[in-house]
Amino acid sequence: MKKVLFLLSFLFLGFSSLMAQQVEYKVVTSVESIVPNGIGRSRMISVEDERNYKDFTSEHDEGRNKSNRGDIRVDKFEETKLLNFYNIGGIRFENIAANDALVSSKLSTMSEEGWELAFVTSAVESDGGKDDGNGIFITRYVFKRVKK
C-alpha cells in the first residue's frame, strides 16, 4: 500500500510540474512587397530584444501612458531579405518560390530550436486603384515553446 501511495504521489508531482510549465511565444513576420515594378522592399523579421507590453499600456481612465513611443522600438532584430512579388515584367513566380524556400528554412530552424508553430495569420493591403501603387502581403508566424 505504501508503494502505491508513493507511486501515486510521484506521478501527481510529475504531472503538477508539467502543468506548471510556462510557455514563451515568438513572432516571425514576413512582409512581401506587392508594389509594381519591383520598387518595394520585402523582408522577414524576427525580434531578438524583449519588451513588456505593460510598460507601454495605460488604462483609459488613467490618461495616456507616459512612456515615449520611441522606447518601444527594438535595436536587436534579425532581418532576412526577401524578393518582391513584382518586377517590371509583372508577377515573378520565381521570387515567390525563393521566398518560400527562405521562410521554410526559418521555420525548420525554429523547429530545431524547440519552437512549435502555434498558428499563422496573414493579410494583404493591395493596390487600391489607379492612384494607389502601394501594397504588402504580411504573414505572422507565431511560435511557442516551454520556457527553459
Interval 98-116: pLDDT, tens: 999 999 999 999 999 999 9
Q: Residue 75: left if φ>0, alpha if ψ -120 to 50, beta else—which one? A: alpha
Phi, psi torsion values for 131, nearest 5 degrees: -95, 5
- Of 46, 44, 47, nearest to 101 by C-alpha is 44
Pairing of the two strands 23-33 and 136-146: antiparallel
Give me the pLDDT at residue 142, please.
96
Answer with the residue of higher pLDDT: 108 or 75. Answer: 108
The highest-confidence range among 70-74, 91-95, 128-132, by mean pLDDT, is 91-95
Give me the pLDDT at residue 87, please.
76
pLDDT (average), residues 62-69: 59
